[in-house]
Structure 1
Amino acid sequence: MRIVSLLASATEMVAALGCTEQLVGRSHECDYPPEVQHLPALSRPVIDINTNSAGIDAQVRQLAGTRRTGDEAALQALSIYQIDIARLQELQPDVILTQTQCEVCAVSERDVSEAVRQLTGLQPRIVSLAPYRLSDVWEDLRRVGAALGRLAEAEALIASYQQRLEELRQRCARLSAGRGQAPRVAVLEWLDPLMGAGNWTPELIAYAGGEPVLSASGQHAPWISWDELRQADPEVLILSPCGFDVERTRQDAALLEQHSAWSELQAVREGRVYLIDGNHYLNRSGPRLVESAELIARALWGEDAGIPLPAEGWQPLR
């Protein structure tokens, strides 16, 4: 079986299922595990992603032909990626993995369907992932496993991930009980304009022993105002922009620090602002969401969480 994955989280699922050697192509964002990086990249963004949050947002809005109104329907026709159709034809894939969750974050099913219509003599199976909650992520892993003939392996992985999360929940619940109440936690998925972290992130916060604010499980990430952030006044603030690693997030954090309301936030006053790699962890809906919950726990509880984690995954802002 020849597999093309145009979604970074799907590539990680393929690897976890033991099918890395069957991958023949990837998206430009698929970078883990490291051995997939030698594969041909079949997509590229049509905007300049090497700029700050505000610059990327402006380009996306201009491409969509709309201003930021909060109406996500205005972005439905958006496509900010191009697929190398000639190379896709050469690779002769049997299965193409993609997604419907967010057309801004990754190559979408619509992009893939359009590309497949232009292929000659090929009818690959398109498996499109659509996660909103952790249960959807596990179901997507089942679907990938079924498509690759590895359903039993997928079920075993899901059971191990769920057990690991449950162990984390119990450990952090004890820490929260000792404190008297769960700390209020806000995660920002974009920094300019501000966007809370929705979908599965509130669940990860809860597993880590926190109380999520400014977002709801299973719902798209909401745009928020500075007034809303100030009113929520989280005890812990996590900056994790989609597609940004820790160092790039640190650069964009300067945009927040320039705002007059920044110093009023409890998390800022108490030095409880943390950076988490939003590219590889929180916003990548694959196996490493378990590690994402552990990263949040480390930010909330420090060494008391009992989790040794790599420094490149998270850092305090100061």
Structure 2
Amino acid sequence: MRIVSFLPSATEIVCSLGLADELVGITHECNYPPEAQGKPIVVRNEIKMEGMTDREIDETVSRVLRSGGTLYRVNESLLRELDPDIIMTQDLCQVCAPSGNEISVVLKSLPRKPQILRLTPKNLSGIFENILTVGTAAGKTDVANKNIEVLKVRVEFVRNEAKKIRKKPRVFLMEWFDPLYCGGHWIQELTEIAGGCDALARQGRDSVRISWREVKDWAPEVLILSPCGYNVKDAVKRAKDLPREPVWNELPAVKMNQVYAVDAQSYFARPGPRIVDGLELLAHLIHPEEFDWQGPQNAYERFTPNVY
């Protein structure tokens, strides 16, 4: 079987099912797991974002989408050469990977029509369903079910332990800095399971722009800096201007030194197996005395602006 992935989360799912050898094509953003490295790159970003500010990126992406343009370029000749049996894509977010009309155009160029798996989860159960969908299509249903059960056990452990904690801190996960975006899709659900409450997040829906006035009124006690698609180092770099916001020093999270930059790319933005790692990381950041973090030390960093 020959599988091509148009999005990083699908690449992670494929490899978690033991199908790395069947994965013949990936995107330029597929940087995990290690066994996916070195595969032919079928999808690349059309926009060179290096050196752009958050606002410049947001304005550029919005302008391209409004004009009917595309953010990604699929190497059609390479795709024809790879001759995939399965192509995995999504219709969840135009910013995250090729979707919709882009896929339709690509399919017309292929001499043999592959099976198309559109992975569009909006919550935790949807992510688990996607893992099963990929496993079933690739003949790994049993492996997928076993992996899902392991993930569910970890989720239920966090849920049950968090229920024992009386205090549910107000949390705000910031998905973009300028303009300001709230968390979308599964973020509110993860926060609640982890023993917090993020009333600014949109459960099962897209992330949207919000105002600093809304953040001030919510008065978060834990602030998570999670810019979509970036790791901790980049998050810290992009957050350097946040303390200039007039309301910044009024936020309880800032006063209590409970502001954290996280590896959004690995643990929050990609709806794959590591989303459960993200849940465990959230639980640790919200309730550090009750939940240990057993993952990589570079998964998060306390944000202290005066240090940078």
Same fold by TM-score greater than 0.5: yes
Q: Does 1:21 align with 2:7?
A: no
1:216 to partner: Cα distance: 2.9
Q: Distance in 2 between matches of 1:220 and 1:62?
A: 18
Q: Which residue of 1 aligns with 2:193?
A: 207
Give the aligned residue type for 2:94. E
Alignment of structure 1 residues 1-318 onto 2, 5 Å: 1-50=1-50, 51-65=52-66, 77=68, 79-119=70-110, 121-174=111-164, 176-177=165-166, 181-318=167-304
Kept in 2: contact 1:185–1:235 (CA 8 A): yes
**Cα distance per residue 1:186-230 (max 9 Å; x no partner):** 101111111100111111111211112201321211210111111
Give the aligned residue type for 2:216. R
CA-based RMSD: 1.4
SS in 2 for 1:302: coil
Q: Distance in 2 between matches of 1:193 and 1:307?
A: 31
**Cα distance per residue 1:258-303 (max 9 Å; x no partner):** 2111111111111111111111110100000100001111111225
Kept in 1: contact 2:173–2:226 (CA 8 A): yes
TM-score norm. by structure 2 comes to 0.95
Q: Distance in 1 between matches of 2:74 and 2:289?
A: 44
Q: Distance in 2 between matches of 1:186 and 1:53?
A: 19
Kept in 2: contact 1:43–1:82 (CA 8 A): yes
Q: Distance in 2 between matches of 1:146 and 1:247?
A: 37
Give the aligned residue type for 1:100. D
**Cα distance per residue 1:64-89 (max 9 Å; x no partner):** 348xxxxxxxxxx4521010001111
TM-score norm. by structure 1 comes to 0.92
Kept in 2: contact 1:172–1:207 (CA 8 A): yes
1:243–1:173 CA distance, 2 compared to 1 (3 A):
same
Q: Distance in 1 between matches of 2:265 and 2:99?
A: 17
Q: Distance in 2 between matches of 1:35 and 1:131?
A: 25
Give the aligned residue type for 1:183. P
Count of matched residue pairs: 303
SS in 2 for 1:143: helix
Please list every run of 5 or more consecutive structure 2 residues that lacks an aligned counterpart in the other structure.
none
Kept in 1: contact 2:159–2:194 (CA 8 A): yes
- Dislocated runs of 4+, deviation >6 Å: none
Kept in 1: contact 2:132–2:145 (CA 8 A): yes
Percent of aligned positions with the same letter in both sequences?
Answer: 38
Give the aligned residue type for 1:134. L
Kept in 1: contact 2:182–2:202 (CA 8 A): no
